[in-house]
Amino acid sequence: MTQSKSRPQTTAPLLAVLDGRAFPETPPVWIMRQAGRYLPEYRRLRAEQENFLDFCFNTKSIIEATCQPLARFDLDAAIVFSDIFALPQALGYPLRFEDGVGPVLEVLTSGVLEKLSSVSEDRVFDALHPVFAALTQLRTDLPNHKALLGFCGAPWTLACYAFSGHPAPDQLPARMMSYTEPDFFRQFIHLMTVFSAEYLVRQLKAGADAVQIFDSWAGVLDEERFSRWCLAPTREIVSRVRQKIPGARIIGFPRGCTADFLKNYALETGVSAVGVDHTTSYKTMRDLQEICPVQGNLDPLRLLAGGTALKEGVYSLLRALSPAGRHIFNLGHGIHPETPPEHVTDMIRLIKDFDFK
Ligand code: CP3
């Protein structure tokens, strides 16, 4: 939506779509969690380090993991290898990753919040230096037609983990805290909003061409809470980033939202494009395309299944959103770790060979 006149032209199709410039023949494609356990070379690299967070704070591992999917597949973007918990970790949030469980955070107390609030900005971003160094090197190494993406977790999604300590399906602890301890809740969201915005600014300055805000748990909120804890903080992040980097390209992914919420999000946050999951209808995607480009929504299980399930899904999505100008091909959520890599090759071939005529 927002464009910067001073920005040099680039040949990357993903950036052309985000800028509303020349339409590529077929939609650019990348895959959420495209670097990861479904790739044997990732599992080998990952095995070199015991701790997932050590891996995420090592410039060499970040660069190698980021490039692995691009070495295999004709993807249009690389996403820097990291995690939404890199920022909380750098802030000094007590957290760890457990095999087979995922992130485990100390449940947020006023003591923890005080500690996070008193950390200096310099210390936080010094700790994240490996991410910035990787982005700079990656932008130098990657060809111009491949976009480089950075990312962060949205404040609401970070709150979901901070208030429950572990993945909780309906996010009951965070939702309850937002009602019972509104001031405490607001303080945490505000802190995450301010730091996330600055984190994205620094990723863009280091070399990212665009960034994505992952709001994986946006879909569990009622209308008023959605407006307050998903929409408003995202709008503030977008506005803070664009104050420092006019025209910054920002993709917002409020997963699990109904059509009305998605429409408000696209209209009110100012994001350059909106990501949708597999439950969003083609009709809603077309309505959103009137506002901004749309990313997603292939069911990750179609990619896991492969064959006819994959082919039918890719074709019906491409036909429904034709022509290709305001669509970024992606899954509706991260790739499943059991996905055979050949299915990704098949998917990209189906997209790139698709005849829109
Ligand atoms: O897209 C990419 O290739 C970049 C890498 C990336 C990771 N996490 C690496 C990762 C990205 C973009 C993320 C985002 C992320 N992390 C989100 C938002 C997107 C989503 O999936 O909803 C969330 C909620 C997290 C938090 C997280 N990290 C969980 C819940 C888990 C455990 C479950 C799981 O999928 O493994 C992780 C661990 C994690 N993050 C792994 C990877 C490759 C697996 C750990 C390992 O390899 O040892």
Residue 326 annotated among the catalytic residues of the structure: no
Pairing of strands 147-153, 77-79: parallel
Instruction: Return the best residue to mutate from 83, 97, 276 for the ligand 1 pocket (most ligand atoms within 8 A of CB).
Output: 83
Reply yes or no on whether 83 is catalytic: yes
Could you tell me the CA-to-CA distances from 41 to 33, 47, 56, 67, 69 in Å, in that order? 15, 10, 16, 11, 9
Q: Is 103 in the pocket of ligand 1 (CB under 6 A)?
A: yes
What residues contact residue 69 under an 8 Å CB cut-off, 6+ apart? 31, 34, 35, 39, 75, 78, 344
Backbone phi, psi, residue 337, to 5°: -60, -20
* Distance from C-alpha of 299 to C-alpha of 274, rounded to nearest angstrom: 17
Three-state SS for 271-307 is CCEEEECCCCCHHHHHHHHCCCCEEECECHHHHHHCH
Q: What is the pLDDT of residues 227-272, one digit of tens each?
A: 999 999 999 999 999 999 999 999 999 999 999 999 999 999 999 9
33 is catalytic: yes
Using DSSP's 3-state secondary structure scheme, residue 250 falls into strand
Contact partners, residue 187, CB within 8 Å, separation at least 6? 113, 117
From the CB of 164, is ligand 1 less than 6 Å away?
Answer: no
Q: Which residues contact 149 (CB under 8 A, 6 or more apart)?
A: 30, 77, 78, 79, 80, 208, 209, 210, 211, 212, 251
Ligand 1 lined by 105 (C-beta under 6 Å): no
Q: Average pLDDT, stretch 191-195? A: 98
Ligand 1 within 6 A of CB of 321: no
DSSP assignment of 104-126 equals: EEPPP-HHHHHHHHTS-HHHHHH
Compute the distance between CA of residue 95 and CA of residue 46 in angstroms, rounded to an integer: 19
Q: Kindly give the distance from the C-alpha atom of residue 83 to the centroid of ligand 1, in angstroms, as a whole number.
A: 6
Burial of 222 (0-12, 13-18, 19+ CB in 10 A): exposed
Average pLDDT over residues 39-62: 96
Decide whether any atom of ligand 1 lies within 6 Å of the 46 Cβ: yes
Place of tokens 């990501």: 275
Mean of pLDDT values over 27-49: 97
For residue 42 and ligand 1, the question of a CB distance below 6 A is answered with no
Average pLDDT over residues 101-113: 94
What pLDDT, on the 0 to 100 scale, is given for residue 1? 37
**Predicted local distance difference test score (pLDDT) of residue 6:** 44
Ligand 1 atom at shortest distance from the alpha carbon of 34: 3
pLDDT in tens, 275-303: 999 999 999 999 999 999 999 999 999 99
Residue with tokens 């290709």: 324
Contacts of 350 (CB under 8 A, 6+ apart): 310, 311, 314, 315
Q: Is 216 near ligand 1, meaning CB less than 6 Å away?
A: yes
**Tokens 């709001």 appear where?**
215
Judged on CB neighbours under 10 Å (0-12, 13-18, 19+), 109 is: exposed
Catalytic, out of 38, 42, 161, 265 = 161
Q: Work out which ligand 1 atom sits closest to the CA atom of 217.
A: 22
Q: Mind listing the pLDDT tens digit for each residue in 325-353? A: 799 999 999 999 999 999 999 999 999 99
Mean pLDDT of 65-93: 98
103 CA distance to ligand 1 middle (Å): 9
Inform me whether the pLDDT recorded for 219 exceeds 50. Answer: yes
265 is catalytic: no
Confidence (pLDDT) at 2:
39
Measured by CA distance, the residue closest to atom 12 of ligand 1 is: 33
332 lines ligand 1 (CB under 6 A): no
Mean pLDDT along residues 9-26: 83
Residues 310, 277 contacting (CB under 8 angstroms): no
Residue among 30, 33, 51 to mutate when testing ligand 1 (max atoms within 8 A of CB): 33
The mean predicted confidence, pLDDT, of the chain is 94
pTM of the model: 0.95
Distance from the alpha carbon of residue 61 to the mean position of ligand 1, in angstroms: 15
Measured over the CA atoms of residue 225, residue 226, residue 230 and residue 232, the dihedral's sign is negative
> Could you tell me where the DSSP H helices lie in 6-143?
13-19, 40-47, 52-56, 59-72, 86-91, 110-117, 121-127, 129-141
Q: Which two tokens stand for residue 188?
A: 């945490």
Atom nearest to 36 CA in ligand 1? 43
Q: Give the whole-number percent of the chain exceeding pLDDT 90.
A: 90
Nearest CA to ligand 1 atom 10: 83
Q: How far is it, in rounded angstroms, from Cα 316 to Cα 306?
A: 15
Q: Is the pLDDT of residue 8 over 80?
A: no
pLDDT digits (tens, 9 = 90+) for 140-172: 999 999 999 999 999 999 999 999 987 787 899
For ligand 1, atom 32: residue with the closest CA: 102
User: Beta partners for 271?
Assistant: none
Reported as a pLDDT band with limits 50, 70 and 90, residue 105 is very high
**Residue 10 in this model has a pLDDT that exceeds 70:** no
